[in-house]
Amino acid sequence: MAKTHVTMKVNGAEVEGLVEPRTLLVHFIRENLLLTGTHIGCETTHCGACTVDIDGMSVKSCTMLAVQAEGSDITTIEGVANADGSLSALQEGFRMMHGLQCGFCTPGMILRAQRLLQENPSPTEAEIRMGISGNFCRCTGYQNIVRAIQYAADKINGVEFKEAAE
Amino acid sequence: MIPGPFSYHRPASVADAVNLLSTLGDEARPLAGGHSLVPMMKLRLATPDHLVDLHGIAGLKGIRRDGSKIVIGAMTTQHELLASDEIAHSLPILHETALLIADPQVRYRGTIGGNLANGDPGNDLPALMLVLGAFYRLEGPGGGRDIAASEFYQGAYFTALEPGEILTSISIPAAAAGHGYAYEKLKRKVGDYATAAAAVVLTMAGGKIATCAIGLTNLHETPLLATDAANAVIGSSLDDASLRKAAAAAVAIMSPAADARGPVEYRKHVGGIMVTRALTRAAARAS
């Protein structure tokens, strides 16, 4: 099958490559760009481990063709840290609140949570849970992931984070 | 999992898309949001030789008011439906239902046109279109035509679309002022297709139900309009006896498949409960 030339912006850098039309975006990101922070979990559009941000949308990159990302602006987990290399508010939140155990779902969770907080800077707990309902975690029971996102929201909003009473 | 090989086409106009689909024939599929088709291709349950991606066509997106109708471009995503003040105001049941489709990531990509045209009995929007009296605009090699949603669904994944035709927009009459509405969906988890679901739009006058339409999702190989069930409550104050009659009339036309969501009897049983709940909630919202 003839290959197609694609160009896109990933984490601020212009990238290009030759792909078959059937190449999934997540494979292009992992295998062509060698950005392996984006994980492949279920491969059936359920688990959200492969979530990246594309032109302001959270997208499961296992369910989009690389050719469809032509000209788009993509952020992966490798692009979320602050410019000086320090942890973003969400990364810090996941660390401080123990928002991960095995860590497999974390890149997708953080990318999804980042978009959620941009659309809704002060989400309620219910809005956070609905907002991450396309991302599975099989370790934490979600409790500490929700806390991590609340921590990050408060940090971004400049308010002191107070854990809800148990 | 990787799809089988195919050629990718990205036409810039509806005419070019129709031309490609008619020329390439049966082995070509239009690609809308891709959140049904791409997973099917990865499982090799779909192996098209050609994909005609509709994302490059300007004018297939957007929500506009046209007199008493709301016209929605087929490539409008569920996320865009949810963000629309026009939908929230004129067709609140569409807002309520779109929020129950899949999960946030899928809603950024999934389109109303793909949801309606795929013919998947599990999709939520087709039954809603029956209830709302929607018309679909189809464009094909022989020109354009409008078809009622009630004439569109012929079997599971089998619709009135002719070879080379695509759905380009959906025209929905704005719901009556003061109407009540509800979409009740039983599902195993967030993101799942319905085990059973019911859509209700009704109006009340003097404490009695004046008009009512009931749609059923995933309880037959096509979406269903439960006309006898609706007639059972029209003129009533939605008393318990009328509600029971309506649920029984709806259950009588259900013929769901037995699958991982449950055996036939269970799905019919909960289908009746969804009808009862949707009627009750819709009536409480009517003014």
User: What size, in residues, is chain A?
Assistant: 166
Q: Which residue of B has its CA nearest to A59?
A: B105
User: What size, in residues, is chain B?
Assistant: 287
Closest C-alpha to B219, from B281, B158, B156 = B156
Which residues are CB-contacts of A162 (< 8 A; sequence separation ≥ 6)?
Answer: none
How far CA B79 is from CA of A73, B174, B194, in Å, comes to: 19, 20, 19
Q: Which residue of A has its CA nearest to B189?
A: A133
Residue B260, Cβ density class (10 Å: 0-12 exposed, 13-18 middle, ≥19 buried): exposed
Q: Which residue of A has its CA nearest to B100?
A: A130
Residue B196 has pLDDT above 80, yes or no: yes
Q: How far is B190 from chain A (nearest CA, A)?
A: 7
Residue B256 has pLDDT above 70, yes or no: yes
Burial B188-199 (b: 16+ CB within 10 A, else e): eeebbbbbbbbb
Please tell me the predicted confidence (pLDDT) of residue A2. Answer: 86
Average pLDDT on B59-74 reads 97
Q: Which residue of B has its CA nearest to A41?
A: B1
- Within 115-134 of A, beta carbons closer than 8 Å to B belong to 116, 130-134
β-strand partners of A18 = A5
Quickly count: other Cβ atoms within 10 Å of residue B40's Cβ: 16
Average pLDDT on A15-34 reads 98
CB nearest B5 (choices: A20, A44, A45): A20
ipTM given for this complex: 0.95
Residue B205, Cβ density class (10 Å: 0-12 exposed, 13-18 middle, ≥19 buried): exposed
* DSSP string across B166-189: EEEEEEEEPPPTT-EEEEEEE-SS
Quickly count: other Cβ atoms within 10 Å of residue B94's Cβ: 30
SS (H, E, C) chain A: CCCEEEEEEECCEEEEEEECCCCEHHHHHHHHCCCCCCCCCCCCCCCCCCEEEECCEEEEHHHCEHHHHCCCEEECHHHCCCCCCCCCHHHHHHHHCCCCCCCCCHHHHHHHHHHHHHHCCCCCHHHHHHHCCCCCCCCCCCHHHHHHHHHHHHHHHCCCCCCCCC
Q: Do B42 and A44 touch (CB under 8 A)?
A: yes
Please tell me the predicted confidence (pLDDT) of residue A165. Answer: 57
| Helix boundaries (H) for B168-263 | 227-233, 240-252
Name every chain A residue with its beta carbon within 8 A of the beta carbon of B106.
45, 60, 134
Q: Do B106 and A44 touch (CB under 8 A)?
A: no
- Spatial distance between the Cα atoms of B226 and B215, rounded to a whole number of angstroms: 6
CB nearest A63 (choices: B2, B10, B39): B39
Q: How far is A63 from chain B (nearest CA, A)?
A: 6
- The answer to whether the CB of A136 falls within 8 A of the CB of A46 is yes
pLDDT band for position B234 (cuts 50, 70, 90): very high
Q: Which amino acid appears at position A88 of this protein?
A: S
Q: What's the whole-number average pLDDT of chain A? A: 96
Q: Which amino acid appears at position A108 of this protein?
A: G
All domains in chain B, ordered by first residue = 7-52 (3.30.43.10), 63-173 (3.30.465.10), 181-285 (3.30.390.50)
Interface test with B, best of A58, A64, A114 (most B CBs within 10 A): A58
Please tell me the predicted confidence (pLDDT) of residue A166. Answer: 55
Q: Which token pair is A66?
A: 């690389």
Name every chain A residue with its beta carbon within 8 A of the beta carbon of B104.
58, 112, 116, 130-134
Per-residue pLDDT tens digits for B77-120: 999 999 999 999 999 999 999 999 999 999 999 999 999 999 99
Please tell me the predicted confidence (pLDDT) of residue B259. Answer: 92
Per-residue pLDDT tens digits for A69-116: 999 999 999 999 999 999 999 999 999 999 999 999 999 999 999 999
Residue B261, Cβ density class (10 Å: 0-12 exposed, 13-18 middle, ≥19 buried): buried
Name every chain B residue with its beta carbon within 8 A of the beta carbon of A1.
5-7
Q: Does A43 touch chain B (CB under 8 A)?
A: yes
Name every chain B residue with its beta carbon within 8 A of the beta carbon of A61.
none
Query: Rounded to the nearest 10 degrees, how much is the dihedral formed by the CA atoms of A128, A131, A132, A135?
Result: 170
Strand pairing of A73-75 and A4-10? parallel
Please tell me the predicted confidence (pLDDT) of residue B171. Answer: 98
Q: How far is A27 from chain B (nearest CA, A)?
A: 9
Q: Do A44 and B43 touch (CB under 8 A)?
A: yes
Q: How far is A75 from chain B (nearest CA, A)?
A: 15
pTM for the whole structure: 0.96
Q: Which residue of A has its CA nearest to B102?
A: A134
| Helix boundaries (H) for B9-156 | 14-24, 37-42, 78-83, 85-90, 92-98, 104-109, 112-117, 125-132, 149-152
Per-residue pLDDT tens digits for A130-157: 999 999 999 999 999 999 999 999 999 9
Interface test with A, best of B41, B105, B109, B111 (most A CBs within 10 A): B105
